[in-house]
Structure 1
Amino acid sequence: MSIVPNEIGITHRLGQFKPNSIRPVIVIFVRRQTKIDILRKTKLFNGSGIFVNEDLTKLNAEVLASVRLKHPSAVEKSWSFEGKIFALFKENQHATQIKH
């Protein structure tokens, strides 16, 4: 997937500079559709060392983590999309939005 520079609104590096370390980057796109296209293709980055995640609010990040960690026997996988938290439960194999 190619992204042209005029599709990027602004970028920020996170954390303080440390020699020989890679810092995460937040990218804000001009169009929401560009972000959605990238999030839908994150599986293509598996094994490349590149990780793509949404920048969630603290509450949503905590809810996502708790779904993953507190119910590992019941939850197949969980993810966020457009700021909403989803989980795939093993019992019914249907994606469910988690509301808190």
Structure 2
Amino acid sequence: MESQLGERIRMLREAQHLYLRQVAPQLDMDTAQLSKIEKGLRPLKKEQIPLLAEILKADKVELETLWLTDQLMQLVKDEPTADEALKSVSKKIKKKN
């Protein structure tokens, strides 16, 4: 599964010349787990985003948005009416705000 969050994590980590082995322990995981997150093979826990944002000096809101995007994509990727459903949800969110 492609992960927008995973790709962004890898980009931020590499831009700072950090190795998986440097970042993973700070998130209380091993390098294999973080590697799988970056590759989209394993989801990141939402609770880990603030710490990850701090470690990578990243925008927490951006990472949360990408996390939610990945969650939604996983949920609706095979649904033929996904686009219409997401448009409907978007309208409801806009009305609520």
Kindly indicate whether structure 1 or structure 2 has the higher relative contact order, using CA contacts under 8 Å at least 6 residues apart.
2
Query: Normalising to structure 2: TM-score of the pair?
Result: 0.30
| Richer in strand (by share) | 1
| Richer in helix (by share) | 2
Question: Whose radius of gyration is greater, 1 or 2?
Answer: 1
